Structure 1
Amino acid sequence: MEYRIKEMPLEELEPKVIEGLLDHKERLGYRIPPSDTVHISFAALDSEGKVVGGVTAKTNYGELYVSLLSVDQSMQGSGVGMALMEEVERYGRANYCHHISLTTFSYQAPGFYKKCGFTELGRIQDFPLKGEEKYFFVKYL
Structure 2
Amino acid sequence: MPSRPEALTITLAYSGDARTQAAAALYRHNIEQTGIDDRAAIGAELCDASGKILGGIWGRTELGLLFLDMFFLPKQLRGRSHGSRLLMAIEEEAVGRGCKRAVVETSSFQAPQFYMHHGFEEFGKVEFGIPGHARIFLRKDLP
Both structures adopt the same fold (TM-score exceeding 0.5): yes
Unmatched runs of 5 consecutive residues or more in structure 1? 26-31
> More displaced, 74-83 or 130-139?
130-139
Which residue of 2 is the match for residue 106 of structure 1?
108
Which of 60, 63, 73 is residue 62 of structure 2 equivalent to?
60
- Aligned match of 2:14: none
Q: Which runs of 5+ in 2 are unaligned?
A: 12-16
Structure 2 CA distance, aligned partners of 1:76 and 1:21?
Answer: 38
Q: Once superposed, what is the RMSD of the aligned Cα atoms?
A: 2.4
Q: TM-score by structure 1 length?
A: 0.79
Residue 41 of structure 1: how far off its partner (Å): 1.5
Identity of aligned residues (%): 23
2:117 to 111, 115, 118: 115
Secondary structure of the corresponding residue to residue 84 of structure 1: helix
After superposition, residues 1-141 of structure 1 pair within 5 angstroms as 2=5, 4=8, 9-20=18-29, 25=33, 32-126=34-128, 129-141=130-142
1:111 and 1:138 map into 2 onto residues whose CA distance is: 13
Map Cα deviations across residues 56-85 of structure 1 (whole Å, 9 max, x no partner): 010111111001101121111000000000
* Equivalent pair of 1:43/1:52 in contact (CA under 8 Å): yes
How many residue pairs match? The answer is: 133
**Residues in 2 aligned to 1:83 and 1:65: alpha-carbon distance in whole angstroms:** 17
| TM-score (norm: length of structure 2) | 0.78
Following superposition, which runs of at least 4 residues in structure 1 exceed 6 angstroms of deviation? none
